[in-house]
Amino acid sequence: MLESRSREAGFVALASSPDCFLAAAPGTQALPIAEHGFVIGHLFAAGSRHEVTALTPQGAATIVSSGGERLIEAFWGDYIAIWRTADGFALLRGPFGNLPCLHATLDTGLIAGSDIAALRHAGLHPLSIDYDAVARQLIAGDLRTRETCLAGIAELRGGGRMTLANGRAQIDSLWSPWTFTTSTRRIDDEEEACEGLRRHTNACIAARTSRLEKPLLMLSGGLDSSILAASLGIFGRRFACLTFATADRIGDERDEARAVAAHLGQEIVERKLEPAGVDIARLAATGLPRPSARSFEQHVHGIARDLAAELGCDGVLDGGGGDNVFCSLQSAAPAADCLLAAGGSGHFWQVCDDMGELASASRWTVAWRALRRACAASRAPLWPLDLRFLTQDAKAHAMQAARHPWLMRNPVRLPGRGAHIALLAAAQGYIEDGPHGTKTASLSPLLSQPLIEHCLSIPSWLWLARGCNRAAARMAYADRLPAQIAWRRDKGAPDSFLIALLDHNRALIREYLAGGLLQGAGVIEPALVLEALDDPRPARGTDYRRLMRLFDTESWARGVAAAAVSGRASA
Share of the chain above pLDDT 70, in %: 98
Structural domain of residue 545, as residue ranges? 495-570
Domain assignment of residue 165, yes or no: yes
Q: What is the structure's pLDDT at 52?
A: 95
What's 99's domain CATH number? 3.60.20.10
Domain assignment of residue 127, yes or no: yes
- CA 34 to chain centroid: 32
Domain assignment of residue 31, yes or no: yes
Q: What is the structure's pLDDT at 9?
A: 80
Q: In the predicted model, what is the mean pLDDT of residues 426-440? A: 90
Please check the confidence at residue 569 and state whether its pLDDT lies above 50: no
Domain assignment of residue 35, yes or no: yes
Q: In the predicted model, what is the mean pLDDT of residues 511-533? A: 96
Distance between CA atoms of residues 217 and 232, nearest Å: 10
Please check the confidence at residue 158 and state whether its pLDDT lies above 80: yes
Please check the confidence at residue 570 and state whether its pLDDT lies above 50: no
Picking from 141, 174, 207, the residue at the C-terminal end of a domain is: 174
Q: What is the structure's pLDDT at 232?
A: 96
Domain assignment of residue 521, yes or no: yes
Please check the confidence at residue 460 and state whether its pLDDT lies above 60: yes
Q: Name the residue with higher pLDDT: 280 or 227.
A: 227
Please check the confidence at residue 266 and state whether its pLDDT lies above 70: yes
Distance between CA atoms of residues 382 and 402, nearest Å: 9
pLDDT tens sequence across 80-117: 999 999 999 999 999 999 999 999 998 888 999 999 98
Domain assignment of residue 387, yes or no: no
**Closest to 417 (Cα-Cα) out of 427, 407, 426:** 407
Please answer whether residues 39 and 46 qualify as being in contact, where contact means their C-beta atoms are separated by less than 8 angstroms.
no
Domain assignment of residue 300, yes or no: no
Q: Name the residue with higher pLDDT: 117 or 77.
A: 77
Distance between CA atoms of residues 472 and 423, nearest Å: 16
Picking from 117, 151, 174, the residue at the C-terminal end of a domain is: 174
Q: What is the structure's pLDDT at 246?
A: 86
pLDDT tens sequence across 124-137: 888 899 999 999 99
DSSP symbols for 228-244: HHHHHHHTT---EEEEE
Please check the confidence at residue 437 and state whether its pLDDT lies above 80: yes
Domain assignment of residue 164, yes or no: yes
> For the CA atoms of 87, 89, 95, 98, what is the dihedral angle to 10 degrees?
180
Q: In the predicted model, what is the mean pLDDT of residues 341-347? A: 96
* Average pLDDT score, the chain: 93
**Closest to 97 (Cα-Cα) out of 161, 159, 50, 147:** 159
Picking from 174, 199, 214, the residue at the C-terminal end of a domain is: 174
Please check the confidence at residue 493 and state whether its pLDDT lies above 80: no
- CA 337 to chain centroid: 26
pLDDT tens sequence across 354-376: 999 999 999 999 999 999 999 99
Q: In the predicted model, what is the mean pLDDT of residues 141-148? A: 96
Confidence of residue 528 (pLDDT cuts 50, 70, 90): very high
| Domains identified in the chain, total number | 2
pLDDT tens sequence across 3-43: 788 888 888 899 999 889 999 999 999 999 999 999 999 99
Q: What is the structure's pLDDT at 567?
A: 58
